[in-house]
Structure 1
Amino acid sequence: MEVEEYLGRSRLYRRLRSGPHGQLVERYAARLVEGRLVRHGAWRCLNVVGGLLSWIAGRRYKLVDLDEQVVERYLRHRGRRQSIQPGDRAALKRWLLVLPPLTPHERIFKEFDAYLRSERGLAPRSIVRHLPVIRRFLHEVCSGGAAALCKINQEDVIRYIERHAKDWSPGTGKAMCWSLRAFLRYLHHRGLNARPLADCVPSMRRWKLATLPTYLPAAQGKALDGCDREMVMGRRDYAILLLLAKLGLRANEVATLTLDDIDWRASEMLVCAKGRQRARMPIPPDVGATIVAYLRSGRPKSSCRRLFVRTLAPHVGFASGCAITMIAKAALDRVGIEGCAHRGAHIFRHSLATELLRSGATLSEIGQLLRHENHGTTRIYTKVDIDALRTLSLPWPGGVQ
């Protein structure tokens, strides 16, 4: 048959079959053979499916997230770059049919995700934080799937929190309760559980300003020197670390930067900050020169508009700020920086604020640079100015201060 002969010689089919979804691609190709599509039709179907898989790899979507709404979103994206053929939508719907059915828990996650997006207006990166907590909660408390959601009671919730309240830090414990409240509120809102169980989730005590911000001492501020700028990955990582250290950007803010966010004439960049805010940041000359060096001789050729992309194929943007955190951790490890309570991208932000405070910058100026909405968030850095705090301490009995 013509389709079978084409699949045997097609480099596109071999590439997709050797990818992470090879078994599904083989099943999809079998459907193409059964449908007796001509060779050009088979190529077009595989091409559209390959584009969809590359598109979801650069975003937060997984195979379990694929449905007709996501397919329509992808087709709009594809339509901005090339023409959409009449059979493209049918090819993608045929792909949805070969996907494995959702497990009961995956179906619950998918519906909860849609609720948070459409009715609560949460950003995707906020929704992702809920899912690990809910997955563990359902595994322990409600292993029977959606039919057992109505059986969850107050004792189940309280016992679960008592078991896991001290598993992590107080901040993570508060986040666990926050996720549980959101999920239990969703169950009651949708009528899946008649009890308003969100009211029985306790509040975990966490004292404000109880800890010191972690920062890199001046003698250890050479984490950037560990990047080998003779290598492609080294040039990319150096540019990323410079944005963290010089501008105090958050990991997710670096990961979501696009080529269109940089205004070279004005020497500014548009940053997607927390709370869906958009902030303009100046580009210092050394940062701009480093980005230019990366774009000219470090960034792989890619249609992706993200500023920083993966060095290994597929050359797409990072799925989240976790990749930026891992790059920062690797940089600290390369130069042997130890003794830090937190080792990640945020330590560069804390170090910048600490250095500015010791250089005489005001809290208002630091808060403006770091884009803090609340001045109380900036006040935590006053605790690292030990010399200034000594003048406020009371005399110790015996005359020693």
Structure 2
Amino acid sequence: MHETIIKKPKVLARFLEGPHLKERECFLRQCAAEGYSLSMLRKIAWILLSISPNLDFCHGKITKSDLEQAIDGRVYFIKSSKHKHGSRQMFIRFATKWIRNLGLFEDFVKEKNSFDIYISEFSRYLSDERGLSPVTISTRCERLSWFFDYLNSRIDSLCSITIADIDDFIKEKGNNGWKRSSLASLASDLRSFFRYAGGQCWCDPKIADVIESPRIYTREGLPEGPAWEDVKRLLNDERNCPADVRNNAILMLLAIYGFRRAEV
């Protein structure tokens, strides 16, 4: 499976030499069968390889605390000033799914709340009537679970939820480091649920219409260039060898005239 998703020989060798190769391969095949994209499969493969050295499969069940210690022990998270909240959540999600798939995860019995029946019915609707993929359904239901867990301590009825509760939840995720694109996806999933819930007379049907997504700018995903002061300092760096004179001319074409790399 790794040979299918990773093409560079040196990178592939690193994945194949890592611990728990057989278990990682089986899980990647399962994720591919569930419809995950190639880029997502690469991320999952990297997550599994990253945490594998810190997991011991020979000494009984693995708890959520064990997984979190294995994840938080990585240098990537230790050095991060913002703790990479979104990445950490993704690591926990797929690590938990992997260990549970192996039958080694020590589950705690989660107390059911009053919203679980709505999530189950919504999941059935997405599968049977909308025909969405298992990955999409799982993602939407997981986000709904987060939302209802956020509300459960103070609200126990769907009809009691207001737009202020939804806005506060989205705002909290933004404060935790979610990007605007992720927040827009979250708002879309909540809007989808409340549109369905309104049609079933579970709540006010107008809620879905007033759930707002953050503004997504057209070129937001483009990489940012250096500040103009940095560009000027680079261009004014005096060097006399022929290669530096040539490179300075290339940089001027790129920075001042906006030439593309292929046009120089």
Bin the TM-score by the shorter chain: 0.3 to 0.5
Question: Which structure has the larger Rg over C-alpha atoms?
Answer: 1
Give the TM-score, by structure 2 length: 0.40
Give the TM-score, by structure 1 length: 0.28
